[in-house]
Amino acid sequence: MTKILDNIILFPGKENKQLIEIEQELTIVQKKMKALMNLNDFDLHPIDNKDVEKLAEYADIMFFDSFTARRLISNLAARIIEQQHILDEINEAADA
């Protein structure tokens, strides 16, 4: 969790409850992503917005095996394409 620790001063003998909370949340997100991406129909399971926010903020310090990472990239790319189609439709409707 290097990224988190870079911005936090740790005092000996003191626990940082916020840091512990973040680490627990990230562990949950990592386990959830691994479970979802290992399903045969992983592409039918969208990643919820809260998890996407955690990935956006902390993915560079998360660890995924290569299989999970490839599927996660595929799932997120599909999400981006879907949202782009929605924006295109909105823009076309606004132009009409």
Query: How does pLDDT run along the chain (96 residues), one tens digit per residue?
Result: 445 556 666 677 777 888 889 889 999 999 999 999 999 999 898 899 999 999 999 988 899 999 999 999 999 999 999 999 999 999 999 987
Q: Strand, helix or coil at 75?
A: helix
Give the residue carrying structure tokens 């879907």. 82
**pLDDT at 6 (0 to 100):** 62
Inter-residue contact 38 to 67 (CB < 8 Å): yes
**pLDDT at 41 (0 to 100):** 95
Nearest by Cα to 57 from 33, 84, 26, 94: 26
CA 44 to chain CA mean position, Å: 17
